[in-house]
Amino acid sequence: MNPPSPREQDILAAAASLFAQQGYPGTSMSQLAAACGLSKPALYHYVPDKAELLARICEAHVEKLAALVREERALKLAPEAQLRELVRRFLQVYGEARHEHRVLTEDLKFLPEPRQQRIRELEREVVSGFADALAALQPALAQQQLAKPVTMLLFGMINWTYTWHRPDGPLSDAQLAELVNGLLLGGLPALGQAGRAS
């Protein structure tokens, strides 16, 4: 996927904000054009319809997360350091792209199946990267085929932080990442012991 131009980035950001506030079904192209500072015909110059805007928002957001996983893999950090960095950087992206993340988690279902499939492929790449990092730190998870379930539990913990966490609140993004890492890394040894006992 080619990166969007600066103007397209502005359009995607404005659309993500509106979708996040009003929901995808409740947002019209006229409202989107106004939010982007464009006439409706000018908006159609950039996108053919509302679904294409939604698809581009979701694809760009998940591609950013997949690229992050690739970057961390390439650094070849020690397993614990890699996992800590993945959690920290994901929560940073979630904090910086709150609207995009809300749109991905809540509105992806409105896309046609072929567009969903491309995004699901990227999501599987992200899950695989986290599962590999978990297995590197705690090999028993891979041996017991628990790396992916634990990864999904981790995402269950962090994917919905946008519903309650505010970066300007008493808990910063960095503190939140430390909290998540503490819960995760503190529990992994117990999971390894449970795997060996079963």
Residue 173 and residue 92: Cα distance in Å, rounded?
6
Q: Look up the CATH number of the domain holding residue 160.
A: 1.10.357.10
Counting as low any pLDDT under 50, the low residues of the chain are 194-198
**Does residue 6 form part of some domain?**
no
**Does residue 13 form part of some domain?**
no
- Residue 112 phi, psi (nearest 5): -60, 150
**pLDDT number for residue 198:** 44
pLDDT tens figures, 113-160 = 999 999 999 999 999 999 999 999 999 998 889 999 999 999 999 999
**Does residue 14 form part of some domain?**
no
Instruction: Judge whether 58 and 108 are in contact, CB under 8 Å.
Output: yes
**Does residue 134 form part of some domain?**
yes
**Does residue 22 form part of some domain?**
no
Q: Is 146 exposed, middle or buried (0-12, 13-18, 19+ CB in 10 A)?
A: buried
**pLDDT number for residue 173:** 87
**Does residue 154 form part of some domain?**
yes
**pLDDT number for residue 167:** 79
**Residue 91 belongs to domain spanning:** 59-197
In the chain, how many domains are there?
1
**Does residue 24 form part of some domain?**
no
**pLDDT number for residue 194:** 46
Instruction: Judge whether 172 and 105 are in contact, CB under 8 Å.
Output: no
**pLDDT number for residue 187:** 82
**Does residue 50 form part of some domain?**
no
Please report, for residues 43, 160, 164, the alpha-carbon distance to residue 149 in angstroms, rounded to integers and kept in the order given.
Answer: 42, 17, 24
